[in-house]
């Protein structure tokens, strides 16, 4: 099975405190640590496991700039057969539909049996996979937390619904699935693995290569635009306890006793 | 303001989803004069029951009856909506596991704009709808502008819009079923597997020591376990701990885990995403322990401790033990 995983490089919220920049038109990006969007990494691992069982190859693609190559190499070090960068000045400022349009161009060029995305990105909102599927007229499922290959034409999948319940479905190939975190345990990638793929060539495709009308993507094609970033005025907010750890602990115990949580 | 507003409401067994009142409130924020139309799909008598319930709130309810819509499969619902919706409308959908399936693809098929997971609506300015979203787990918010000339699909975060008065009407039910015709699915619903019960039932506990990403390693869970034992509490967690397979799913608090209603909730190393907070009901006394002073959890907590939980919790455990020794 030939699998495409659509991935993105995002600021790593485990490594950074996200703050506004001085003018409020963006977050402060100096010194940010970037990494692959976490759910996308689960999607790559899932693709590798499917290929290990059923054969085929895994391609990881991202829409971005040269800076984004690092996540492609990371996923190639994990075991992906190929990384592809979809890059063009015309793509800059794309909304979700713009990104989906670029990916559609790539899918129509290469043909895949299965397309995976992460369930959502930290700075976007669970949209590109569902849009891409609709553009291609492929079936789609979001929040997927297990995949079983039934045969060359069908998968059995589960989706994570409320209360930890799982909605089981059968879905025809080719299809697009958005992968929920926790579906597997992504393998570790060491520096050694990344060095081994450091010199591999990463093909780059622009709008003409993908048959994309520049007016349909980027700023020009965007229906949705960010005006600014802000931090909403807090409600009451927490009372922050001050003092040594010991003093704080005693204060907390007092408060919890008063609330009936400690007898 | 000319765009007509539609809300799509999922019903189960004749009971409309809780989002029905929230979506109505959101429609009024787009346009205070709006008379939003509810659309509800399904089959059989339960669909009529749901339509009647909704007509007490919405002036017009569109009923879409089709045997293949008995279970809310987003692929089939999308096909039905594309057939019944006029062009240029604004369609509101709850951003839950169904809305995430439906919204993005529906916007493509309607050739309309799409905004996901909206938490606030500022209104319409010219041909733009102005909305508010959150990014990075709620650490920052953004004002977003969406062109609505060709219509829009807007997914709204559950719980973000407070129900408003003024919905009480004797609405009419309009049957749109004949527009739909045959629907075919490339994704077929099989069954729902109910989550396994865990070793403890965190939904019944009055004190929870809850851990998140800040626990860092599996071996550190013992630290939280010891505090819980000292307090007569139980350990629960947020999603990353379950994703890492350090605790079972039955211990997870949140929209995709358990809904808990403790008296006291100690959030240790938990950033406080809305999915996590959605599982916290009954106004518990929330204590947040986190080394990041900007963690969203501090916005909802009653008291906060800005420190590394791995250093602080053993100290707290020690003091709790001493206190209990004295009081016995």
In Å, how far are A70, A91, A94, B148, B243 from A223, measured between CA atoms? 30, 14, 9, 8, 35
The residue of chain A nearest to residue B130, with distances taken between CA atoms, is A227
Quick check: is B196 in a domain? no
pLDDT in tens, B18-59: 999 999 999 999 999 999 999 999 999 999 999 999 998 899
B21 and B134 in a single domain? The answer is yes
The pLDDT value given to residue B198: 84
Q: What is the mean pLDDT of chain B?
A: 94
> Measured between CA atoms, how close is A200 to chain B, in angstroms?
31
Neighbours of B261 (CB within 10 A): 16
CATH code (residue B101): 3.40.50.620
Domain boundaries, given as residue ranges, for chain A: 2-221
Residue A163: predicted pLDDT: 85
Model pTM?
0.93
- Residues B258, B145 share a domain: no
Instruction: State residue A18's pLDDT score.
Output: 86
Together in a domain, B265 and B150: no
Residues whose CB is less than 8 angstroms from the CB of residue B173 and which lie 6 or more positions away in sequence, other chains included: B48, B51, B52, B55, B61, B62, B63
Tell whether the model's pLDDT for residue B1 goes beyond 60. Answer: no
CB B72 within 8 A of CB B41: yes
Domain match, B164 and B227 both: no
* Structural domain span for residue B100: 5-179
Residue A187 neighbours by CB under 8 Å, 6+ apart: A45, A48, A78, A79
Residue B328 predicted with pLDDT over 60:
no
User: How many CB atoms sit inside 10 A of residue A89's CB?
Assistant: 11
Q: What are phi and psi of A236, to 5 degrees?
A: -65, -45
Is A224–B113 a contact, with Cβ atoms under 8 angstroms apart?
yes
* Residue in A125, A165, A181 nearest the CB of B193: A165
Flag if B307 and A245 touch (Cβ within 8 Å): yes
B107, closest residue in chain A (CA to CA): A131
Tens of pLDDT along chain A (263 residues) come to 999 999 999 998 877 888 889 888 889 988 899 999 999 999 999 999 999 999 999 999 999 999 999 999 999 999 999 999 999 999 999 999 999 999 999 999 999 999 999 999 988 789 999 999 999 999 999 999 999 999 999 999 999 998 889 999 999 999 999 999 999 999 999 999 999 999 999 999 999 999 999 999 999 999 999 999 998 776 678 999 999 999 999 999 999 999 887 76
Are B254 and B295 in the same domain? yes
Cβ-based burial of B297 (10 A; exposed 0-12, middle 13-18, buried ≥19): buried
B283 and B156 belong to one structural domain = no
In this structure, are B118 and B216 located in the same domain?
no
Tell me whether B133 touches chain A (CB under 8 Å).
yes
Q: Give A118: exposed, middle or buried? Use CB within 10 Å, 0-12, 13-18, 19+.
A: buried
Q: Tell me which residue of A227, A233, A229, A207 sits closest to A218, measured CA to CA.
A: A207
Q: How many residues does chain A have?
A: 263
Q: Please report how the helices B221-231 and B309-327 are oriented relative to each other, as an axis angle in degrees rounded to 10.
A: 20
Rounded to 5 degrees, what are φ and ψ at B63?
-100, 130
Contact B234, B200 (CB under 8 A): yes
The pLDDT assigned to A235 comes to: 65
Whether residues B87 and B228 share a domain: the answer is no
Distance CA(B61)–CA(B19), nearest Å, equals 15
Lowest mean pLDDT: which of A108-117, B161-170, B225-234?
Answer: B161-170
B171 and B36, same domain (yes or no): yes
Do strands A140-151 and A9-11 pair parallel, antiparallel, or not at all (unpaired)?
Answer: unpaired
CATH no. for residue B300?
Answer: 3.40.50.1220
- Residue at B142 is within a domain: yes
Residue B11 and residue B92 in one domain: yes
Give the separation between CA A193 and CA B284, rounded to whole angstroms: 47
**B190 within a domain of the structure (yes/no):** no
Chain A residue nearest residue B146, CA to CA = A224
**Cα B188 to chain center, whole Å?**
24
CATH superfamily of A2-221: HUPs (3.40.50.620)
B235, exposed or middle or buried, with CB in 10 Å at 0-12, 13-18, 19+?
Answer: buried
Measured N-to-C along each axis, helices B97-109 and A128-136 cross at an angle, to the nearest 10 degrees, of 50
Domain count across chain B: 2
Q: Is residue B192 one of the residues assigned to a domain?
A: no
Query: Within 10 A of A43 (CB to CB), how many other CB atoms are there?
Result: 35
Domain boundary among B179, B214, B246: B179
For chain A, say whether B111 makes contact (Cβ under 8 Å).
no
Its ipTM equals 0.94
Cross-strand bridge partners of residue B8: B39
Residues B279, B314 within the same domain: yes
Residues in a beta bridge with A159: A144, A167
CA distances to A51, A251, B239 from A106, rounded to whole Å, are 21, 59, 33
Is B162 found in the same domain as B281?
no
**Which one of A127, A162, A223 has the shortest CB-CB distance to B104?**
A127
């Amino acid at each position: 099975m030939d699998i495409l995983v659509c991935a993105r490089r995002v600021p790593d919220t485990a490594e950074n405190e996200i703050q506004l920049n001085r003018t409020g038109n963006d977050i402060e990006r100096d010194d940010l640590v970037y990494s692959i969007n976490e759910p996308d990494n689960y999607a790559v691992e899932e693709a590798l496991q499917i290929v290990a069982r059923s054969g085929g190859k895994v391609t990881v693609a991202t829409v971005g700039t040269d800076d984004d190559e690092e996540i492609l190499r990371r996923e190639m070090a994990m075991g992906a057969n190929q990384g592809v960068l979809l890059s063009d000045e015309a793509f800059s400022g794309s909304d979700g539909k713009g990104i989906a349009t670029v990916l559609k161009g790539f899918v129509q060029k290469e043909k895949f049996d299965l397309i995976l995305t992460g369930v959502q990105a930290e700075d976007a909102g669970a949209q590109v996979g569902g849009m891409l599927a609709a553009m291609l007229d492929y079936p789609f499922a979001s929040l997927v937390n297990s995949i079983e290959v039934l045969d060359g034409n069908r998968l059995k999948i589960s989706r994570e619904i409320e209360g930890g319940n799982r909605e089981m479905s059968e879905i025809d190939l080719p299809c697009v699935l958005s992968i929920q975190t926790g579906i597997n345990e992504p393998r570790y990638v060491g520096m050694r693995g990344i060095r081994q793929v450091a010199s591999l060539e990463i093909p780059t495709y622009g709008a003409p290569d993908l048959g994309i009308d520049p007016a349909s993507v980027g700023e020009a094609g965007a229906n949705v635009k960010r005006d600014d970033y802000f931090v909403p005025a807090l409600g009451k907010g927490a009372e922050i306890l001050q003092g040594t750890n010991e003093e704080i602990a005693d204060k907390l115990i007092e408060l919890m006793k008063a609330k009936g949580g400690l007898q | 303001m000319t765009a007509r507003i539609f809300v799509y409401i999922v019903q189960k067994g004749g009971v409309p989803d809780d989002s029905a009142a929230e979506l109505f409130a959101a429609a009024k924020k787009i346009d205070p004069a709006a008379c939003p139309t509810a659309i509800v799909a399904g089959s059989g008598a339960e669909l009529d029951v749901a339509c009647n319930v909704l007509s007490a709130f919405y002036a017009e309810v569109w009923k879409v009856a089709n045997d293949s819509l008995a279970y809310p499969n987003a692929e089939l619902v999308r096909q039905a909506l594309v057939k019944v919706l006029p062009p240029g409308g604004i369609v509101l959908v709850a951003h839950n596991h169904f809305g995430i399936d439906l919204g993005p693809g529906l916007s493509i098929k309607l050739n309309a704009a799409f905004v996901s997971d909206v938490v606030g609506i500022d209104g319409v300015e010219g041909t733009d709808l102005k909305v508010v979203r959150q990014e990075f787990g709620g650490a920052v918010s953004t004002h977003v502008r969406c062109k609505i000339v060709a219509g829009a699909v807007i997914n709204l975060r559950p719980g973000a819009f407070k129900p408003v008065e003024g919905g009480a009407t004797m609405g009419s039910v309009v049957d749109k079923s004949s527009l739909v015709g045959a629907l075919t699915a490339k994704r077929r619903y099989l069954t729902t597997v109910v989550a396994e019960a865990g070793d403890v039932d965190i939904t019944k506990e009055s004190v929870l020591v809850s851990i998140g990403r800040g626990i860092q390693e599996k071996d550190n869970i013992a630290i939280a376990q010891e505090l819980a034992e000292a307090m007569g509490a139980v350990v629960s967690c947020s999603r990353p701990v379950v994703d890492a397979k350090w605790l079972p799913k039955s211990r997870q608090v949140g929209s995709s885990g358990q809904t808990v209603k403790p008296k006291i909730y100690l959030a240790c190393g938990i950033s406080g995403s809305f999915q996590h907070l959605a599982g916290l009901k009954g106004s518990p006394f929330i204590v947040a322990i986190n080394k990041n002073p900007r963690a969203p959890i501090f916005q909802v907590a009653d008291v906060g401790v800005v420190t590394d939980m791995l250093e602080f919790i053993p100290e707290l455990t020690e003091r709790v033990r001493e206190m209990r020794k004295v009081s016995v």
